[in-house]
Amino acid sequence: MSRPGPAPDSRPVDEGRPSHESGPPSDRTAFARPEPTRSEPTRTEPSPPVLPRFPGPQDVVRLVGEGLVLREWSAGDAPALPALFDDPDVARFTPLASPFDEAAGRAYLARAAESRAARRRVQLAVTTDGGAPLGEALLFTASDDPFAVEAGYVIGPRHRGQGLAVRALRLATEYAFGGLGACRVLLRIVVGNEASDAVARSAGFSLTGEAPISTGTALLRTWHREARRAVGT
């Protein structure tokens, strides 16, 4: 759970003297040897970074991979949310308070829909087949880095221990890079949340080394993963 080689030498190759040079010196034809030339290595300027672009309300996001299907929430998912989010660890390490009942679930999904329409967030139910939700993976704008996307994840207590968080985070991160155009993905994890730290490492994230961020009630450490860039860019 997280808060939310140089260019080849182009000089001519001497393949041996022409055969007519075997005659007497007076019969030889003079050939001017061209000056050797060297081509300068071509450097490709790095592409300028672009701002991440979240999908519009008309776009349907459905991510398939890692043995999972990450799908968008629907209003019909509200009854399933208390079993996922009404948990002491969720309340301790995320902004989701406990108790979390069905009414809280409806309000949560309504806020998610508003943020989705405003193109600020993508919140996806973690499933194995597109059906019953087992948790959530979310991506949202990073307030302190316009070229980054922040990620978060929650797995319901009954579904932990199956590698769902790592797989969901990897899948969502690849979408952040390839689908949203993010240069980097950030995680903010509460100090002491060792299980979430392990998820971040397994998904390819590393600590930034920045000082922890205080929320007033918790300290958050920042993890990051950079987009892979093509060779020469």
Tell me, yes or no, whether 213 lies in a domain: no
Domain count, the chain: 1
The answer as to whether 127 is a domain residue is yes
φ, ψ (nearest 5 deg) of residue 133 = -75, 140
Q: For residue range 56-82, list pLDDT tens digits in order.
A: 989 999 999 999 999 999 999 999 999
Residue 156's pLDDT is 97
- On whether residue 147 sits in a domain, the answer given is yes
Q: What is the dihedral of CA 110, 116, 118, 121, to 10 degrees?
A: 120
pLDDT single digits (tens) 191-219: 999 999 999 999 999 999 999 999 998 99
Q: What is the mean pLDDT of residues 89-110?
A: 96
Residue 48 lies in a domain: no
* Residue 56: inside a domain: no
In a domain, 223, yes or no: no
In a domain, 32, yes or no: no
224 within domain boundaries: no
User: What residues make up the domain containing 125?
Assistant: 62-182
| CATH number for the domain harbouring residue 112 | 3.40.630.30
| CA 136 vs CA 69, 125, 126, 144, 165: distances in Å | 11, 5, 5, 23, 9
